[in-house]
Amino acid sequence: MDDLLSLNNISIIYNDDVQGAFDVAVYTKSIFEKNGLCPVIVKSFEPNKDTTFAISIGGDGTLLKAARFYAPLNVPVFGINMGRLGFLAQANIDEIECAVEMLLKGQYKIQKRMMIESLNCGGMLALNDVVIKGDSFSRTSKLFLSVNDSVVCDYLADGIIVSTPTGSTAYTLSAGGPVVSPDLEALVIVPICPHTLTSRPLVIPAEEKITITSCNSCSMLKMSADGQQTVDVAADKKIQIQKSGIMAKLVILEKENNGFYSILREKLQWGVAPER
């Protein structure tokens, strides 16, 4: 069944750049072994294709990388947080034993998350966002936005973020974009440090096709997926971004105060009044 995990081939993926992540991976593996299961431990840059369930150990970046790799393989991903925020993770280090117990008891749901892609620029796939910037950090870029081949606006800005609802609480939020529930399917377009007060974020239907072009003032554009995979794009090339047919699968534990709005309040201190 699509809503049940297959625990036949579990991969525990750890970020080698995070101190102590390997030890946490070994500890997590031992808990599964006590329950008769035999996961394998792999580094985040050496993912295992023969996997039915992936556990990410690190920060949100580690989970995003795992999600981009495993989403096309239809493999669910579960996050254990060792980073600062861990917005996408479901357990901290002191909660691992309880989390494994809940997974084994089936106390979870598999949530499908929309992804976006740019097929004409290296086949980029992103769970959070695609970011387009000029090739020079010392000057702004003039970028042109069209939706469904209709011109929307010109931006004089440091760049443009095209985000999923999942990514709306990441870079998009820092750039002044709205928070969008992951239950929605929508695209969020946010200019980065625009030089006009009328340049505001846009939220459009997920089925719309986005095209971004530039002028001849810069020779290259930089485009990145989830802040990790980066490619150079010729300035005269049309960058096309759209909803992907691939969905990421995130494993969400069925526990108290684990809904989207509760996590917003806990991890981002959303709507929490400052203490006197």
45-72 tens-digit pLDDT? 787 888 999 999 998 999 999 999 999 9
Residue pLDDT, tens place only, 164-191: 999 999 999 999 999 999 999 999 999 9
Count of domains for the chain:
2
Residue range of the domain that includes 24: 10-106
Least Cα distance to 266 among 81, 97, 105, 48 occurs for: 81
* 95 and 126 belong to one structural domain: no
> From CA 142, how far away is CA 158, in angstroms rounded?
9
**For residue 102, what is the domain's CATH number?**
3.40.50.10330
**For residue 218, what is the domain's CATH number?**
2.60.200.30
Residue pLDDT, tens place only, 106-152: 999 999 999 999 988 778 999 999 999 987 666 788 899 999 999 99
User: Rounded to two decimals, what is the model's pTM?
Assistant: 0.91
> From CA 86, how far away is CA 79, in angstroms rounded?
8
- pLDDT for the residue numbered 1: 42
φ/ψ of 137, rounded to 5, equals -80, -10
Does residue 137 fall inside a structural domain? yes
Which residues are tagged catalytic? 60
Q: Which residues are bridge partners to 162 per DSSP?
A: 130, 189
Domain boundary residue, one of 43, 73, 106: 106
* 166 and 234 belong to one structural domain: yes
